[in-house]
Amino acid sequence: MMLAYMDRAAAAAEPEDAGEPAPVAAGCAAATDFGGLVSAIPAAVVRPASADDVASAIRAAARTAGLTVAARGNGHSVAGQAMAEGGLVLDMRALALSRRPQMQLVGCPGGGNNGPCYADVPGGALWEEVLHWGVKNHGLAPASWTDYLRLTVGGTLSNGGVSGQSFRYGPQVSNVAELEVVTGDGDCRVCSPSSHPDLFFAVLGGLGQFGVITRARIPLRRAPRAVRWTRVVYASFADYTADAEWLVTRPPEEAFDYVEGFAFVNSDDPVNGWPSVPIPGGARFDASLLPAGAGPVLYCLEVALYQYPDGAVEDDEDKVGPEHVGGAAGRRGLLPGGAAAVLPGRRAGGGRAGGAERRDPPRVPRQRLRPQGLLPELPGRGGVGAPLRRRQVEALRGAQGPLRPAGDPRAGPENLPQGPGVRRRRVARAPAGGGGPGLAWHGRMGWGEDQPGVSCWW
């Protein structure tokens, strides 16, 4: 263990002629965080090489009255939560940078075909590092992520770890099999849902108040070879929320793998306006096509569907077709409504590449889609041009239920459609640049090989 001590008096003071003292010690990253609202200079920064080092530091702090301890990952707290003024800051990144073996594959008999796979990773490892290690070495990855991957494993598990996959796979705290934790009395314990469960569930989402996570065992699943994704921009908050609700309440065999939304300013401001919303496929945002009544704030949904390398059920690339989001389209949302749909390649209902949806396009009649094989008959369900009724949304919400921990038959990474009985839905494929009236076409991007042509997404 290495202690990095600082001379507080020298570090906190500016030169005599500079006036007020500096709020942050020069070179002391532990005195700042991502929020930039708070600064607190610790007495020492501890850079542990093992869980034993973390335990030694906590036991030493316990012997000194009033000496506080804070665990710091990559410094992405926003209000000083990882600071300890006059106390000890544990630099958890040091755990991931030590020379000891960092990440280990656990279980995974037959490459995952004969049993579950797990990764044992240090609490100070970045999720970005976990991703690179898993995909490059084993073709595996966790099911649930954060939006920003340069966060530590222990940091997000101490908070929740919510992102666009959470509605389907659960948050990161529901995708953990085992933890190694150093408690407030300096004991190092291994806990899981079956061993010391009180400690296990207290630490997950416990904001570091019940112990410091030094190691986590994360379930892994096959990594997709590519990801299809796009973004859709809305001028109406009601349309935006209605479509978001529709998408996250789909049954698993019809659901996207990622759905997330955000708001941005209706202006050309490079930080908060249109340029801040990357659009796939190199398409540009054409603000002139926004509805005439668009307000100062716009809303965006980002959706993605994973593609897999073999013929397994997850490789059903077109399982989310127009029949599955037809109700949303009929509500003047995703496709032919008053919302501004930003899509790569072709716009919905138009021929210009990229940009926003036309201001008030007509709804697409079902009979114009069905002859092309793009919209099969679905008795009793709302289709394109038919609004989704509130009671249907309520029924879907009730069937899907809330987010549930891993292992629950209704949610979590084990809730994957498998076997020959899984219902598949195919949508016709068209040559690149083609497209029927009112249809949204998309290209593909990701880790794997591309194939000619594009597929109808909805």
3-state secondary structure of 70: strand
Q: Which domains does the chain have, with CATH numbers?
A: 44-97 (3.30.43.10), 104-222 (3.30.465.10), 226-283+293-307 (no CATH)
Over residues 247-271, the mean pLDDT reads: 88
- When pLDDT is averaged across residues 259-276 and rounded to a whole number, the result is 87
Of the candidates 203, 216, 243, which has an alpha carbon nearest to the alpha carbon of residue 325?
Answer: 243
Catalytic status, residue 76: yes
Which of 2-6, 150-154, 183-187, 208-212 is predicted with the least confidence, judged by mean pLDDT?
2-6
What is the pTM for the complete model shown? 0.64
Alpha-carbon distance of 350 to 365, in angstroms, equals 16
Q: What is the pLDDT of residue 283?
A: 66
- Out of 53, 129, 243, 260, which one is annotated catalytic? 260
pLDDT interval class at 175 (50, 70, 90): very high
The Cα-based distances of 403 to 170, 253, 379, 434 in angstroms read 6, 17, 30, 39
Quote the radius of gyration of the chain (alpha carbons, Å). Answer: 25
196 is catalytic: no
Q: Cα–Cα distance between 312 and 221 in angstroms, integer?
A: 13
Mean pLDDT of the chain: 67
Distance CA 54, CA 90 (A): 7
- For 190-213, give one letter per residue: b (16+ CB within 10 A) or e: ebeeeebeebbbebbbbebebbbb
pLDDT digits (tens, 9 = 90+) for 327-356: 333 333 333 333 333 333 222 222 222 223
Task: Kindly report, residue by residue over 351-387, the tens digit of the pLDDT.
Answer: 222 223 222 222 223 333 233 333 233 233 322 223 3
Higher pLDDT, 31 or 220: 220
What value does the mean pLDDT take over residues 391-417?
39
* Average pLDDT of the residues in 142-167: 92
Query: Do residues 430 and 453 make contact, with C-beta atoms less than 8 angstroms apart?
Result: yes
Residue 282: pLDDT band with limits 50, 70, 90: low
Binned at pLDDT 50, 70 and 90, residue 268 comes out as confident
pLDDT at 5: 36
pLDDT at 56 over 70: yes
Task: List the catalytic residue out of 14, 147, 185, 268.
Answer: 147
406 residue type, one letter: A
Does residue 260 have an active-site annotation?
yes
Q: Does 29 score more than 60 pLDDT? A: yes
Q: Tokens representing 449?
A: 């090989």
> Distance from CA of residue 300 to its chain's centroid?
15
Of 95-109, 212-226, 241-255, 273-287, least confident by mean pLDDT is 273-287
Residues 6+ apart with CB under 8 A from 95: 48, 49, 50, 51, 54, 122, 123, 124, 125, 214
Measured distance CA(188)–CA(257) in Å, rounded: 36
Q: Is 260 a residue whose pLDDT tops 80?
A: yes
Whether 406 has a pLDDT exceeding 70, the answer reads: no
Q: Please check the confidence at residue 180 and state whether its pLDDT lies above 70.
A: yes
Per-residue model confidence (pLDDT) at position 450: 28
Please give the sequence-ordered ranges of beta strands (E in DSSP) within 68-202, or none if there are none: 69-72, 88-91, 104-107, 117-122, 140-141, 178-182, 188-191
pLDDT at residue 51 greater than cutoff 60: yes
Q: Six-digit token pair at 58? A: 């906590």
Residue labelled with tokens 């990594």? 223
Query: pLDDT tens across 63-74, in order?
Result: 888 889 999 989
CB 261 within 8 A of CB 240: yes
| Cα–Cα distance measured from residue 34 to residue 79, given in angstroms and rounded to the nearest whole number | 8
Q: Where are the alpha helices (DSSP H) in 249-342?
A: 326-330
Residue 99 is predicted with a pLDDT of 57
Q: How far apart are CA 450 and CA 452, in angstroms?
A: 7
For residue 423, give the DSSP letter. Answer: -
Residues 251 and 350: beta-carbon distance below 8 Å: no
Q: Which of 33, 53, 76, 239 is catalytic?
A: 76
Residue 162, C-beta contacts closer than 8 angstroms, at least 6 positions apart: 146, 171, 172
- For residue 53, pLDDT over 70 is answered with yes
Q: What percent of the chain has pLDDT over 90?
A: 30
Residues 6 or more apart in contact with residue 191 via CB below 8 angstroms? 178, 179, 181, 197, 199, 200, 203
pLDDT of 414 > 80? The answer is no
